[in-house]
Amino acid sequence: MEEISTGVYLDGAHNADGIRAFLDAACRLKELRKPDHVRILFAVSADKDHQRMLREIAERLKPDLWILSKMESHRTLSVEDLEAAAEKLRAEYGEETEYRVSRDVKHAVKELLGLHGERDLSLIAGSLYLAGEVKEQISKSTS
């Protein structure tokens, strides 16, 4: 896990083991930082068990806001599948958690960073492709 900005962490977790390791680290950060808000930007390849990954994140991390996004990769999970996943999560975990779907990573990152406050914890995970897109976007914005 890499801190890409104060309180904003990027992780390439893209499978069950990776998500568990990501959650171990993210939950420790949540415990140590005691953030006002926990938000996660999540995107995943279509061939991954996204429902299981989302459920584990919901149960362990309990984010206040999910931003579910579609990546540029041809392997990405569709926006429609992301919306269906968000509805399933809402049904299982209640209305107190907010879910948003973004059609691309660029806008999702912009939204996440726009909401981020100095006492918040913002996380980005779900795919190595996602990590690559985020790093590329950040390098373009700083050059």
pLDDT of residue 46: 93
pLDDT of residue 33: 96
Region 3-32 average pLDDT: 95
Which candidate, 123, 115, 114, 93, places its Cα nearest to that of 27? 123
| Structure confidence by residue, pLDDT tens digits, 33-79 | 999 999 999 999 999 998 899 989 999 999 999 999 999 989 999 88
| Structure confidence by residue, pLDDT tens digits, 83-102 | 898 888 888 877 677 889 99
pLDDT of residue 85: 83
- Phi-psi bin for 97: left (phi > 0), alpha (psi -120 to 50), beta? beta
Question: 103 or 142: which carries more pLDDT confidence?
Answer: 103
CATH architecture for segment(s) 2-142: Alpha-Beta Complex (3.90)
Distance in angstroms (rounded) separating the CA atoms of residues 111 and 41:
9
End-to-end CA distance of the chain: 23
pLDDT of residue 143: 58
Q: How many helices (H) and strands (E) does the chain have?
A: 5, 6
Distance in angstroms (rounded) separating the CA atoms of residues 71 and 102:
10
Which candidate, 132, 138, 125, places its Cα nearest to that of 1? 125
